[in-house]
Structure 1
Amino acid sequence: LEKEIAAKDQRAHEQQKFYPDLSGEIAGAVSKRSEPNLDRDFDTLDEPVWVTVKRDLNTVGAKFGLVLFPTQGNQSLLRNWDLWGPLFICVFISLLLHSSEGKMGPHFTEVFTLTFFGACIVTLNIKLLGGTISFFQSLCVLGYCLLPPGAAAVLCKVLTFASEQSSLLFVIRLLVTSVGFVWATYASMAFLAGAQPPRRKALAIYPIFLFYFVISWMIISHSH
């Protein structure tokens, strides 16, 4: 028995020579990253709050970059979904379109409710058609893709404050809003197209098209 135990210890010692211990401090590796990696999970238990918030903001900014420069087949926005970016954009657009007392236009709660429940209805349609993504993944994509209409709303506000209302100004606002609408629709389909059944893509695209069209119509109608 003693000989067998000694032989096992000898084999274990020889294995350690070929397979060294590779364990290390994960938190230290996380703190040295300068750019967010959307394909990795983060351990935030042993780091300062500001480091966590800063990394989350960088991650949201990286996802905004994916929307501004969408590419077919890039699924990072689906794999690493969050609702912070969509919430920020919805609140931002609602504040821009909010009408003060005595002026015609929607209120903050009306714009926010329409945007939120509109995205939920589009997501429910995707699921009913057999989409292979989760409910919150779809909400994440639809919310982040509101960035181009949000930028169009800002430009329309700037144009409104810069000069008086005229036909030329309306045409420019219409062009800016149309670009934001097309960009949002194209970006959302770049992320969601692969999750739709091939024979039902048209049925999935139409509600997305209608969702961004309604948001863009509110921007062109009430951004003055």
Structure 2
Amino acid sequence: MATAADASRSFAGLSDVSIPEDIPVEGDITVPVDSSRREDDEFSTLDEPVKETILRDLRAVGKKFVHVLYPKQSSELLQDWDLWGPLLLCVTLALLLQGGAAKNGSQGGPQFAEVFVIIWFGSIIITLNSKLLGGTISFFQSLCVLGYCIMPLTVAMVVCRLVLFSITGTVSFAVRLVVVVASFGWSTFASTAFLAGSQPPNRKGLVVYPVFLFYFVISWMILTFSP
């Protein structure tokens, strides 16, 4: 068994070791910076002007509107989700639907709060249904897609109000019917194009059916509206 004396004899020669004077020992000690962290620092928005931040957000919202106009099965609308666009469309549609004509002494047309609740409550129900069926899309991503895809129906509401002010009778109803049906199909197609890739293949029908009902209810409110 080794003793303390044996250990001292083993390391006795280390005291004679010296560092030659011609070997440089000076230098800078630096800590490598992660490239991804450096990029995050470069694109930090903490010092960004408010005007630039607002313009950047508006450009992002406008880009999502373009994706709805040209829908395709991709995740571009889901990568950077937001609820500003859906909120804007919901408020616009609710304002346009407010104040319908009264019939038989009752208040005609849905009110602002009713439209607001129908749109958001319906979107939440569809999102929960998608998650329960095994969808991989997140809660807010689904709300983003369903909200942005209301845009064709909002445009249809604007067109219908213009038609109601300029044309009356059967022709007015026929024009509004064509516009609403086309917008309904566009909204349904666009939303399913973005949501299809995140659903199980054998359950896509169960996910599409509530989406169909959701946009059908909104389309019916638009078609039956009378100022």
Q: Shorter-chain TM-score: which interval?
A: 0.7 to 0.9
CA contact (8 A) 2:86 2:147 kept: yes
Q: Does residue 1:105 correspond to 2:109, yes or no? A: yes
- The change in CA–CA distance for 1:5 and 1:66 in structure 2 (over 3 A counts) is farther
For 1:90, the equivalent position in structure 2 comes to: 90
CA contact (8 A) 2:101 2:226 kept: no
- The change in CA–CA distance for 1:79 and 1:101 in structure 2 (over 3 A counts) is same
- The change in CA–CA distance for 1:143 and 1:24 in structure 2 (over 3 A counts) is closer
**In 1, Cα distance between equivalents of 2:146 and 2:96:** 19
Shift of 1:25: 9.9
For 1:51, the equivalent position in structure 2 comes to: 52
- The change in CA–CA distance for 1:200 and 1:24 in structure 2 (over 3 A counts) is closer
Structure 1 counterpart of 2:136, from 115, 132, 136: 132
CA RMSD of aligned residues (A): 2.6
Q: What's the TM-score, normalizing by structure 2?
A: 0.80
1:169-201 per-residue CA deviation (whole Å, 9 max, x = no partner) reads 101100000111000000001110000000000
Q: Does residue 1:78 correspond to 2:78, yes or no? A: yes
**In 2, Cα distance between equivalents of 1:25 and 1:211:** 40
For 1:221, the equivalent position in structure 2 comes to: 224
Which runs of 5 or more structure 1 residues have no equivalent in the other structure?
A: 14-22, 28-41
How many residue pairs end up in the alignment?
199
**In 2, Cα distance between equivalents of 1:66 and 1:144:** 9
1:140-194 per-residue CA deviation (whole Å, 9 max, x = no partner) reads 000000000000000001111123x211110110000011100000000111000
Q: Which moved more, 1:204-213 or 1:102-111?
A: 102-111
Larger radius of gyration: 2
Q: What's the TM-score, normalizing by structure 1?
A: 0.81
Which residues in structure 2 correspond to 1:108-123 (within 5 Å)? 108-123=112-127
1:132 counterpart SS class: coil
For 1:17, the equivalent position in structure 2 comes to: none
1:78 counterpart SS class: helix
Structure 1 counterpart of 2:163, from 137, 140, 159: 159
For 1:18, the equivalent position in structure 2 comes to: none
1:14-47 per-residue CA deviation (whole Å, 9 max, x = no partner) reads xxxxxxxxx68965xxxxxxxxxxxxxx632111
1:106-134 per-residue CA deviation (whole Å, 9 max, x = no partner) reads 11001111111011111111011000011
Q: Does residue 1:6 correspond to 2:24, yes or no? A: yes
Letter in 1 for 2:49: P
- The change in CA–CA distance for 1:223 and 1:125 in structure 2 (over 3 A counts) is farther
CA contact (8 A) 2:99 2:108 kept: yes
Letter in 1 for 2:141: Q
1:46 counterpart SS class: coil
Shift of 1:220: 0.5
Letter in 1 for 2:54: V
Which runs of 5 or more structure 2 residues have no equivalent in the other structure?
A: 1-17, 31-37
**What's the % identity of the aligned pairs?**
53
For 1:32, the equivalent position in structure 2 comes to: none
CA contact (8 A) 1:96 1:223 kept: no
- The change in CA–CA distance for 1:24 and 1:67 in structure 2 (over 3 A counts) is closer
